[in-house]
């Protein structure tokens, strides 16, 4: 097609450059939409309308236009895998004998247009009209990974479309489809007869199959069937002798689409390929191991792109150390579980203990006990491990009276203690794989390991992709190791190791070296595909099917896998199902989703293991499986089409809900992930919210933010209804609380969450969430230094609280107004509100207080008492102030809530600073810093640092403390907080005065 001439004829030649820059050829042109035209820069409505009308006419143009070749196609022939469709109008000879020629011409033209329109919707290219026959290519000029499926769907659609044509006589069609390597693209003929030729057996096979098909039937060759898996229900037609085709050809009739798609197949392989080109890297690890054994603990950070061999390097180290007495711990992160606290650790413990899904609770606890007895774990720590694994206490462990925050801290300490104990028994090798997918709590744990390991007999290896920036670089016992691509010589050696006694021609070997581009996984996979060819010619054809490795790594690996995995039948589908579940999956969950018999599933898994795609631990049905490499999982998952993939995610989510209820309860984010990927936003939102609730209750605020943000993304996909607004309100309320704790009361994210929640309260007329939401808005305004706005909001909170008989709302509202007056300087006005609020609070039991803490994002009693101590001190009641400060600390310890537990000490330290009791201030502030760092509370840490450094400066004036105060002030302001800023500057001036005199201390007091 002459694109320039077509645009010129429309008077729109100005857009030619934009069309060419965006690779708009004829096949793309036919599918352009109004939005596409906007993106191309066609801003005028009239021009877009004119183009869309012209495109519509092209879609229904007569055959002489439809068969015109695209000028953008390459003039050179190329070798590629193409699925060829040949369709034919049934009974056309008989029709020509009894119909008027003009009527027959109209009939055939309608048929041709119907074929062209149908196949183009599926990405097919109409290569040639031959009377009542049509030749179509799928895979040329534009290839798709699902070309075979597109062809079959188009064939089935074509049968219905042709039957639906409103002609004088009913029409039927036959379709034959075959797939194979061809040479396509030669320009044959000239002028109007010019066409893109195709050479090879495939088009002839498609035409012959069409000739054997029954009316309204699609028949496919074995070569195509291998690419379809169970995308369609097929009927085996057996072997057929076809004219012009060498040997019998197996044919299949397509009955209808099935509910599951699959195009993944595994080739036979055993064991790991020998390690090549990593001698220096392995030697470095062994040297670090030697140091570790001598009680000089080491950390090695192994970084490299996907497929570069990080996992293979660690496996080689394990092989080298197999004969040495040592303990090993190997944890794997998952991109689906980045917000699941300690997910890789839980998985490692479950595998080490040999826990099986169908174990009874008692059996699981027995196995856990047996594992932990090896390290003489205390019964209290064993109870923590049981809780971490979501195992119910059957009475064998003592009940632990801990806050969630204390439980989290104790759990991390128990894990560290395990490593310390093991290192005393024997050297410990710890491998933390794919840290770029780690949850924050696991990263925190391994941060502690990095700190402790230097005095232990242990080596920690952390592997990750380059996008991850580990925070431990630069320490004396930490080594950074970047894995580079292999040299051509090393790739050549690796090919020898893979092929063994097989011989490869120089040409094929050189092609593998070029195409693998130094990536070991590419080298291994492409070489295996070539080895499976039956001859050198077949090997060359197989190799030609693999695109250049200059493309993105995942796409290139997918191509190499597909080239060698298309013939494994059911194993392909099982690999996809496993990949959809995750990097690690259990036999029981796979079996509940796969819809296969035990024999079929076992055979498929064995084939995948033999092909080197999976590792297995345990024996079915208690086995778990691990993809050899994360990139292998990505490739398997990437071959699934959207709708089958969504259907599979639905099956997985429903299986977890119905058959693994405990997982759904303890890890709702897993169910949420699958429903999200399935395009089922309604249940996804429910589970993301539950995951957010779990995380907030466990003080995992960063994880909570991830869960709730994912929930909001799913909510946006639901219809805009009042019900959706109500759900959105609850999500934003919880998100505001998590953000307030994690990022600070005055952070922009906190403001955005609570502001949106307040808008939604008004929209839906909510009187349940309005007080907690307004409390969050008020807290942002107060912390940000917007005292007038905070006073107005506090008044509104009180007005809302008075409309409902709730002691919690009344307490929060009174303390809001009291704190607003205190920070605005109207201290006397604050006193009655403090008294009223604390009087209400004293009528609340601990259970209700904990519930209020969750509802409002903080326990209101502790800050109420703490700030009232400031108020009473400033009004001249020092003894009463001290009593209230002590009560604040007691409440913070008693009520199980991270924010209150952390804020209590630093708020109490304020009164002791007024009293100039600097050792007490230092102790309280140090406790606040530790708690704030543990729970990730940025503002608490910053204020704690200000208070501690101020106390240290007063106890022993020094420049380091002054620097720390200034740095902490900067960190405090970075959270968006501005309230108490003057007071903090007074502390700085006071410290300066102690160090350098009053004159030099005055300027900071004037800073605002």
* pLDDT above 70 for 79: no
Residue 739 CB partners (closer than 8 Å, separation 6+): 701, 705, 747, 749, 750, 753
Reduced to 3 states (helix: H, G, I; strand: E, B; else coil), residue 140 is coil
Residues 6+ apart with CB under 8 A from 460: 297, 298, 299, 300, 430, 431, 432, 446, 449, 450, 453
Partner residues linked to 199 by β-bridges? 183
Q: Could you tell me which residues are beta bridge partners of residue 176?
A: 86, 219
Residues 171 and 163 sit within 8 Å (Cβ to Cβ) = yes
> Which residue has tokens 């495939």?
202
Higher pLDDT, 119 or 170: 119
Note the pLDDT of residue 832.
95
In this prediction, residues 87-96 reach a mean pLDDT of: 78
| Residue 860 or 880, more confident | 880
- Per-residue pLDDT at 650: 95
Do 309 and 631 contact (CB within 8 A), yes or no? no
- DSSP class of residue 213? S
CB atoms within 10 A of CB 921: 27
Handedness of CA 114, 117, 119, 124 (dihedral sign): positive
> For position 474, what pLDDT does the model report?
86
At residue 264, does pLDDT exceed 50?
no
Residue 582: burial class (beta carbons within 10 Å; 0-12, 13-18, 19+)? buried
DSSP 391: P
Q: How many CB atoms lie within 10 A of CB 850?
A: 19
Q: What is the rounded distance in angstroms from the CA atom of residue 688 to the CA atom of residue 731?
A: 9
Query: Residue 825 and residue 871: Cα distance in Å, rounded?
Result: 10
The neighbour count for residue 745, using CB atoms within 10 Å, is 27
279-482 is classed CATH 3.40.50.300: yes
- Contact predicate 18/41, CB 8 Å: yes
CA distance 268 to 995: 76
* pTM attached to this predicted model: 0.57
What is the enclosing helix (H) or strand (E) of 464?
Answer: strand 458-464
Give how far Cα 334 sits from Cα of 582, 630, 989, Å: 7, 9, 50
User: Average pLDDT for residues 905-930, to the nearest whole number?
Assistant: 89
Distance of CA 494 to the CA centre of its chain: 33
- Residue 315 sits at the vertex; the CA angle it makes with 312 and 318, to the nearest 5 degrees, is 160
Q: For residues 1004 and 953, what is the distance between their CA atoms, to the nearest angstrom?
A: 16
- Identify the band that residue 875 occupies on the pLDDT scale cut at 50, 70 and 90: very high
Does 871 have pLDDT greater than 90? Answer: yes
Of 191, 180, 171, 44, residue with least CA distance to 113? 171
Residue 760 neighbours by CB under 8 Å, 6+ apart: 725, 726, 728, 729, 732, 766
More confident residue, 778 or 516: 778
Looking at the domain covering 731-1005, what would its CATH class be? mainly alpha
Span 311-338, mean pLDDT? 86
| Rounded distance between C-alpha atoms, residue 446 and residue 462, angstroms | 9
Q: Which has the closest alpha carbon to 155: 228, 81, 239?
A: 228
Q: How far apart are CA 105 and CA 955, in angstroms?
A: 103
Q: What is the pLDDT of residue 792?
A: 94
Q: Smallest Cα–Cα separation from 772: which of 797, 744, 740, 806? A: 797
Q: Judge contact between 155 and 87, C-beta under 8 A.
A: yes
Please give the average per-residue pLDDT across 110-114, as a whole number.
87
Q: How far apart are CA 903 and CA 610, in angstroms?
A: 57
The answer to whether the Cα torsion of 409, 415, 417, 419 is positive or negative is: negative
Domain coordinates of the chain in residue numbers? 3-59, 68-257, 279-482, 488-565, 731-1005
Query: What confidence score (pLDDT) does residue 545 get?
Result: 44
| Residue 984 contacts residue 972 (beta carbons within 8 Å) | yes
| Contact predicate 701/936, CB 8 Å | yes
Half-sphere exposure of 155 (CA within 13 A, CB side): 36
Tell me which residue of 735, 748, 742, 678 sits closest to 707, measured CA to CA.
Answer: 735
Q: Report which DSSP code applies to 603.
A: H
Conformation bin of residue 360: beta by default, left when phi > 0, alpha when psi is -120 to 50: beta
Backbone torsion region of residue 309, taken as left when φ is above 0, otherwise alpha when ψ lies between -120 and 50, otherwise beta: left
Q: Please give the helix or strand (H or E) that residue 233 lies within, else none.
A: strand 232-240
pLDDT value of position 557: 41
CA nearest 439: which of 333, 283, 597? 333
Cis peptide before 213 (omega within 30 of 0): no
What is the pLDDT, as a whole number, of residue 196?
Answer: 59
Phi, psi of 857 (to 5 degrees): 85, 0
* Residue 201 reports pLDDT greater than 90: no
Pick from 307, 82, 298: nearest CA to 205: 82
Please tell me the CATH code under which domain 68-257 is placed: 3.30.70.1230
**Residue 97 pLDDT:** 67
Cα(697)–Cα(857) distance, integer angstroms: 10
Sign of CA dihedral 576, 520, 429, 431: negative
pLDDT at site 142 = 65
Mean pLDDT computed over 208-213: 90
881, 920 Cβ separation under 8 angstroms: no
- Within this chain, domains 3-59 and 68-257 share the same CATH topology: no
pLDDT value at residue 548:
34
- Residues 348-377 have pLDDT tens digits of 898 888 887 678 888 889 999 898 888 777
Identify the band that residue 193 occupies on the pLDDT scale cut at 50, 70 and 90.
Answer: very low
CATH topology of domain 3-59: DNA polymerase; domain 1 (1.10.150)
pLDDT at 345: 92
State residue 655's pLDDT score.
95
First to last CA, the chain: 70
How far CA 174 is from CA of 89, 99, 102, 177, 302, in Å, comes to: 7, 21, 24, 10, 58
pLDDT at res. 406: 86
Q: What is the pLDDT of residue 192?
A: 40
DSSP 146-203: THHHHHHHHHHHHHHHHHT---SS---EEEEEEEEEEEEEEEES-GGG-EEEEESHHH
pLDDT at 551: 30
Residue of 1 and 53 predicted with greater confidence:
53
Rounded CA-CA distance 645/264 in Å is 13
Across the chain, what does the average pLDDT equal? Answer: 82
β-bridge mates for residue 196, sequence order: 187
- Determine which of 94-98, 255-259, 504-508, 648-652 has the lowest per-residue pLDDT on average: 94-98
Tokens 């006397």 found at: 828
Instruction: Assess whether pLDDT exceeds 50 at residue 532.
Output: yes
**Among residues 936, 975, 971, which one has the least CA distance to residue 751?**
975
**939-991 pLDDT per residue, tens:** 889 999 999 999 999 999 999 999 999 999 999 888 888 888 888 888 998 89
- Pairwise CA distance, residues 217 & 194, whole Å: 31
425 vs 199, more confident: 425
How far is CA 575 from each of CA 270, 433, 570, 632, 659, rounded to the nearest angstrom?
17, 21, 9, 10, 21
Average pLDDT over residues 285-312: 92
Phi, psi of 221 (to 5 degrees): -80, 165
Q: Which residue has the tokens 């077949």?
A: 538
Ranges of beta strands (E only) in 761-841 are none
At 534, the pLDDT band (50, 70, 90 cuts) reads very low
pLDDT band at 184 (very low <50, low <70, confident <90, very high): low
How large a percentage of the chain has pLDDT more than 70? 85
pLDDT tens profile 458-472: 999 999 988 888 989
Assess whether pLDDT exceeds 70 at residue 920: yes
Euclidean distance between CA atoms 125 and 110, whole angstroms? 18
Which two tokens mark 52?
A: 């869309």
My answer on whether omega of the bond before 621 falls inside 30° of 0, hence cis, is yes
- Measure CA 1006 to chain center: 49
Q: What is the pLDDT of residue 754?
A: 93
pLDDT at position 71, please?
36
């Amino acid at each position: 097609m002459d694109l320039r001439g077509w645009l010129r004829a429309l008077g729109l030649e100005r857009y030619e450059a934009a069309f060419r820059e965006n690779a708009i050829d004829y096949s793309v042109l036919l599918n352009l939409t109004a939005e596409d035209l906007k993106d191309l820069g066609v801003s005028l409505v009239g021009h877009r309308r004119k183009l869309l009308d012209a495109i519509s006419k092209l879609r229904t143009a007569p055959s002489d236009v439809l068969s015109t070749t695209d000028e953008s196609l390459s003039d050179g022939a190329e070798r590629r895998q193409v699925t060829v469709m040949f369709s034919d109008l049934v009974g056309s000879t008989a029709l020509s004998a009894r119909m008027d020629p003009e009527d027959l011409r109209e009939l055939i033209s309608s048929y041709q247009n119907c074929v062209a329109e149908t196949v183009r919707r599926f990405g097919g290219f109409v290569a040639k009209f031959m009377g009542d026959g049509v030749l179509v290519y799928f895979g040329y000029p534009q290839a798709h990974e699902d070309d075979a499926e597109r062809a079959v769907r188009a064939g089935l659609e074509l049968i219905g479309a042709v039957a639906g044509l409103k002609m004088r006589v009913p029409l039927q069609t036959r379709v034959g489809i075959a797939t194979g390597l061809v040479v396509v693209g030669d320009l044959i003929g000239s002028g109007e007869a010019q066409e893109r030729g195709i050479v090879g057996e495939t088009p002839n096979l498609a035409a012959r199959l069409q000739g054997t098909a029954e009316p309204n039937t699609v028949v496919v060759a074995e070569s195509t069937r291998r690419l379809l898996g169970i995308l369609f229900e097929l009927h085996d037609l057996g072997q057929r002798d076809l004219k012009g085709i060498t040997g019998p050809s197996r044919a299949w009739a397509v009955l209808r689409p099935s509910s599951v798609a699959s195009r993944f197949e595994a080739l036979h392989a055993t064991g790991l390929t020998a390690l090549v080109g990593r001698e220096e890297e392995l030697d470095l690890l062994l040297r670090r191991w030697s140091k570790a054994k001598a009680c000089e603990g080491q950390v090695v950070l192994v970084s490299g792109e996907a497929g570069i061999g990080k996992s293979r390097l660690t496996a080689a180290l394990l092989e080298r150390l197999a004969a040495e007495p040592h303990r090993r711990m190997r944890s794997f992160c998952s991109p689906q579980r980045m917000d699941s606290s300690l997910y890789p650790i839980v998985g490692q413990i479950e595998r080490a203990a040999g826990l099986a899904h169908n174990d009874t609770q008692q059996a699981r606890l027995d196995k856990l006990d047996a594992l932990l007895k090896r390290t003489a774990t205390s019964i209290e720590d064993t109870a923590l491990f049981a809780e971490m694994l979501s195992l119910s206490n059957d009475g064998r462990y003592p009940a632990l009276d801990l806050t969630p925050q204390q439980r989290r801290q104790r759990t991390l300490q128990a894990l560290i203690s395990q490593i310390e104990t093991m290192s005393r028994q024997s050297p410990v090798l710890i491998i933390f794989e794919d840290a770029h997918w780690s949850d924050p709590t696991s990263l925190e744990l391994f941060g502690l390991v990095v700190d402790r390991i230097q005095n232990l007999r242990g080596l920690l290896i952390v592997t990750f992709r380059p996008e991850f920036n580990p925070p431990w670089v630069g320490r004396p016992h930490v080594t950074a190791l970047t894995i580079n691509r292999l040299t051509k010589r090393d790739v050549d050696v690796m090919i020898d190791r893979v092929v063994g006694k097989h011989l490869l021609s120089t040409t094929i070997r050189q092609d593998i070296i070029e195409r693998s581009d130094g990536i070991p996984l590419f080298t291994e996979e492409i070489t295996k595909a070539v080895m499976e060819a039956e001859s050198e010619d077949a090997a060359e054809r197989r190799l030609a099917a693999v695109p250049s490795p200059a493309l993105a790594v995942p796409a290139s690996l997918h191509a190499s896998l597909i080239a060698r995995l298309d013939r494994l039948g059911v194993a392909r589908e099982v690999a996809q199902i496993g990949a959809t579940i995750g990097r690690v999956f259990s036999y029981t969950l796979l079996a509940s989703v796969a819809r296969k018999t035990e024999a079929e599933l076992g055979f498929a898994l064995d084939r995948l293991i033999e092909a080197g795609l999976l590792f297995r631990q345990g024996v079915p049905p208690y086995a778990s499986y691990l993809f050899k490499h994360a990139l292998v999982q990505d490739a398997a998952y990437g071959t699934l089409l959207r709708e089958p993939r969504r259907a599979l995610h639905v099956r997985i989510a429903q299986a977890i809900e119905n058959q693994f209820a405990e997982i759904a309860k303890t890890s709702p984010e897993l169910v949420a992930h699958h429903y999200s990927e399935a395009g089922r936003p309604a249940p996804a939102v429910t589970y993301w919210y539950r995951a957010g609730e779990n995380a907030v209750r466990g003080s995992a605020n960063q994880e909570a933010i991830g869960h709730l943000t994912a929930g909001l993304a799913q909510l946006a996909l639901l219809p805009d209804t009042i019900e959706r607004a109500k759900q959105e309100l609850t999500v934003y309320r919880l998100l505001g609380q998590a953000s307030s704790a994690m990022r600070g009361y005055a952070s922009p994210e906190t403001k955005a969450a609570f502001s949106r929640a307040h808008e939604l309260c008004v929209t839906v007329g909510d009187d349940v969430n309005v007080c907690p939401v307004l409390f969050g808005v008020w807290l942002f305004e107060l912390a940000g230094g917007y005292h007038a706005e905070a006073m107005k909001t506090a008044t509104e909170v009180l007005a809302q609280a008075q409309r409902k008989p709730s002691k919690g709302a009344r307490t929060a509202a009174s303390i809001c107004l009291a704190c607003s007056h205190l920070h605005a300087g109207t201290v006397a006005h604050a006193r009655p509100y403090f008294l009223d609020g604390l009087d209400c609070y004293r009528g609340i039991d601990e259970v209700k207080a904990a519930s209020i803490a969750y509802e409002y994002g903080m326990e209101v009693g502790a800050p109420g008492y703490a700030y009232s101590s400031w108020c009473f001190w400033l009004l001249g009641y020092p003894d009463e102030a001290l009593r209230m400060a002590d009560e604040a600390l007691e409440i913070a310890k008693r009520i199980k809530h991270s924010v209150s537990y952390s804020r209590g000490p630093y708020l109490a330290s304020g009164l002791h600073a007024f009293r100039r009791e600097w050792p007490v201030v230092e102790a309280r502030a140090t406790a606040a810093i530790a708690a704030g760092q543990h729970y990730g509370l940025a503002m608490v840490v910053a204020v704690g640092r200000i208070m501690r450094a101020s106390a240290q400066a007063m106890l022993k004036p020094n420049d380091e403390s002054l620097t720390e105060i200034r740095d902490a002030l900067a960190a405090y302001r970075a959270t968006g907080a501005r309230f108490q800023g003057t007071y903090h500057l007074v502390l700085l001036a006071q410290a300066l005065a102690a160090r350098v005199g009053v004159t030099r201390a005055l300027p900071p007091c004037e800073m605002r």
